[in-house]
Structure 1
Amino acid sequence: MATLRFFAGAAEAAETETATLDANTIGELRAKLGEAYGTEFMRVLGLCSLLVNGARAGDDAVALAPTDAVDVLPPFAGG
């Protein structure tokens, strides 16, 4: 199971900072996140970047291994 870390608005929408999900690809992970956290979370997820082991995963075909760490990062603003 991939370990997920949610940050800022993504953590608020998921109502948690961490989770584990079993998924073979980023696309499958997105679908399972929608099932687990609902419509509002999916709206936020659409604005987020996903990092797999620190590398941006912009394509739904990116493979996931059970030992991967996925960070869900909403856009940050500030100065």
Structure 2
Amino acid sequence: MDDEVASGVRAASAPARVAVDRRSARGQRHAVEFGINQLEQFRAVATRYDKLAVRYLATVQIAAIVSGYEAETF
């Protein structure tokens, strides 16, 4: 560290890697939010109509299957 200060050379940081990680995280976050919004098109999922966790999970799974099927047909 003292040699770097004496010679005026600073350690290189990696801002490019951080920017890529942010873009990657942003894309992943967008995919998750898009998926949740697709599921919330189903009223039972959005309002959590089923009170039992097992039934709610089944509702979410059925909604995911139907929304995936609809996405492939277009």
- Taking structure 2 as the reference length, what is the TM-score of the superposition? 0.30
- The structure that is strand-richer by fraction is 1
Between structure 1 and structure 2, the one with the greater Rg is 2
The structure where helix makes up a greater share of residues is 2
**How does the TM-score come out when normalised to structure 1?**
0.28
